[in-house]
Structure 1
């Protein structure tokens, strides 16, 4: 939540540490409006996923103001599937408002579990063990982590 502090100026492009860049991110870097991921496993729910975000400065203040009023309460409340962690908190503000990477750059931002690894157990996984042709960014959400598979 420190990303939203008012003393951090300018627009921010944020990537989780377990995000892998696998091609040119020129298109990612050119996005100019609030953009987050749709939940890869549950895209139709509208829930956001926060592994990759473009956060314009103008969209940060309301988040900080709400967060700083009672961080402990927000952390206690953001523990359900519908409202999980930071993305559960952010979704209250951005669900239905933020552009989605999957729509803005189709095929360029993919999930390792859903689009790369060979299908293991879920009907929401479509990979065949290879990197999709247009992929530029691979999101590792949960396990495995990139360093656990030699990336």
Structure 2
């Protein structure tokens, strides 16, 4: 099992954000970054396609790239607890969208190696022009992959900052979707930000900034 992140150049993310995320793992897991940039101090593999932005994540399904199961995590994610048990789940899984729970979201995905080839055969022929018809990789994957939902297997352990923490006085609050009280729920292990604000822009005690280490769990 490999913890995998993806960094495509040209956007707001940099190698610093990969290192920021890696610090949260506290060397407990093997972490690989798929990227077209140099990430000093971490193992990285070169992206093979020219798929733009978040569509670079589709290369996770290339069975020749990483010969192992993958637990993919978006870079704007905060680890607040031990998630070892999630790595033991063999099901092809993704997030249940926090705002539209009937839909799958790709911010975290558990991809068994055995499932990659069949999905990759559908993805591999796609050009950047083909992908332009989709709002994002998650929307595209929903058309071809029948995911299990991670939150169903691990209720209350994978949460959304906006939906489960933010209050009216906090950046990211939504009058429609936010139900938090400003605190991290007791059972939470992983906090997803899925858009802005980014975690490193917030001054909260459970978030490490880019220049400091997250305490090892």
Relative to the length of structure 2, the TM-score reads 0.62
Deviation string, structure 1 residues 118-147 (Cα, Å, up to 9, x no partner): 143322211110001100000010101110
Tell whether the 8 Å contact from 1:63 to 1:90 is kept in structure 2 after alignment.
no
**1:86 equivalent among 137, 150, 156:** 137
Q: Aligned ranges for residues 137-148 of structure 1 at < 5 Å? A: 137-148=190-201
Of the three residues 136, 151, 174, the one matched with 1:102 is 151
Counting matched residue pairs gives 142
Find out whether 1:53 has 2:109 as its counterpart.
yes
- 1:122 alignment partner in structure 2: 175
Q: Which runs of 5+ in 2 are unaligned?
A: 1-57, 208-217
> Match for residue 82 of structure 1?
none
Do residues 14 (structure 1) and 72 (structure 2) align?
yes
Runs of 4+ in structure 1 off by over 6 angstroms are: none
CA drift at 1:106: 0.3
Match status 1:2 vs 2:59: yes
1:27 is matched with which residue?
Answer: 85
Note if contact 1:74-1:89 (Cα within 8 Å) is conserved in structure 2. Answer: no
Question: Larger C-alpha radius of gyration, 1 or 2?
Answer: 2
Unaligned residue ranges in structure 1 (runs of 5+): 80-84
Shift of 1:112: 0.5
Where is the helix percentage greater, Structure 1 or Structure 2?
1
Offset, 1:93 = 2.0
Q: Secondary structure at the match of 2:128?
A: helix
On the 8 A contact 1:108/1:134 being kept in 2, the answer is yes
Q: For 1:29-71, what per-residue CA distance to the aligned partner results, in whole angstroms no more than 9, with x for missing partners?
A: 221111110110011xx32111111000122122221122122
Instruction: Note the aligned Cα RMSD (angstroms).
Output: 1.4
